[in-house]
Amino acid sequence: MSQLDLLWEYQQADMEAERQENTMKRSPTRQRLLKYQEYLREQKAANTHLEEEVQAMSDRVDALKDAISRAEEQLKALHARFEASRPEDSEGVQGFINETQRLVQNISGYEQELRRIRKDAADRDNQQRDILARAAKVRADYDKLKQTYDVEYKENMEKLEQLRAAAAEKSKSIEAVYMEKYKSIKQHIMPPLSQLSGDQCGGCRMSLPSAVLRSVRSGTPVECESCGRLIIR
């Protein structure tokens, strides 16, 4: 049996292993698990974002409380100064009134912002509870499905290893130069070998020049100029 014939037999075994591996990747159970994983990652990211927002709100609340305390202290000091030394003219009185109004408005503005932040924080808290509840349910479904998948994966992996071993056994009779060519072509197109079909490449169905046809029919390794596969008789 020629090296090309041996290579063709190896390809059959190799493609069988590839089909098994692709079947495992396309497993409905695996696809569902991947969707669960993606959902859980998204929910974790969303929860982290909410936590960061809540932390920023908490920092702002602390800053607002400090600002209110300072404004209240300033207001008390202003009133104390007024009582200790009342203005002698209307301009001084008006200045006291203006400063008092400014501080009161600042305090009012800070308090309004505090109420808004607390409401937003409560909304974020509700969102986090919803996220955690949904994530917990999905996690429970994921864990249950994972048990089923583990059994399925073990069975399929055993079959895949058998197919790979069969392909490896066939490769032992093939010269290195042919295996290297096969692996090189496989990186670009599958399957790497195609059989001659009339005057066409059996892989891409492109018609071949007469000189190429003669080479293929004589047993000389020829790569298809169109798809790059190694053509054999």
Beta-carbon count within 10 A of 119 CB: 10
Query: Which residues on neighbouring strands pair with residue 231, listed in sequence order?
Result: 194, 222
CA-based radius of gyration for the chain: 38
Quote the pLDDT of residue 11: 96
Tokens linked to 218:
């004589």
Q: Give the pTM.
A: 0.73
Lookup: tokens for 166: 């069969």
Assigned token pair, 222: 């020829």
> So what's the pLDDT on residue 219?
85
Rounded Cα distance, 17 and 168, in Å:
11
Question: Which residues in 56-67 are b (16+ Cβ under 10 Å) and which e?
Answer: ebeeeeeebeeb
pLDDT for res 1: 75
| Low-confidence residues in the chain, pLDDT < 70 | none
